[in-house]
Structure 1
Amino acid sequence: MEITVKIDKRSKQAKAFYEYLKTLPFVEIQEPRYNKETEQAIKDAKSGKTSEISLTDFRKELFS
């Protein structure tokens, strides 16, 4: 069985609980590598949901 728990680590109790969970041998902690937007962009790219853009247009978008 798999259970997902979201912990807001801004409080002392939550931090202590998180640290305790990390010590348990049957608990696996999975944290995202990046923020949500970046994770979604990676998933989209891997699944082929991309679009072509010229370098000139890309630079215009980037620096405007």
Structure 2
Amino acid sequence: MFKFNKKTTKMKTVKITAYPDDASQIEAIKAFMKALKIRYDLTKNNEPYNEAFVKKIQQGDEDLKNGKGRTVTVEELDSLWK
């Protein structure tokens, strides 16, 4: 039978990704971790989006503004999955 010994057992690192909307949510997460006495590292993801992807999104937005979009009904969407 396995017995958990808090003093000698080290837990493995678990990666948790959070997407806070503002600084207050970051502070709340930090307070939560501190309250539970969980050690953590906080890093910012400064990697930009893929440039080609951003251009596609911007082109799509521009196309919609110029009337190049298409309206699709829920029924049409449902038929795609059947």
Pairwise TM-score range, normalised by the shorter structure: 0.3 to 0.5
> Highest CA radius of gyration, 1 or 2?
2
Q: Which has the higher contact order (CA 8 A, sep 6+)?
A: 1
Question: Which structure dedicates a bigger proportion of its chain to helix?
Answer: 1
Q: What TM-score, normalized to structure 1? A: 0.34
Q: What TM-score, normalized to structure 2? A: 0.28
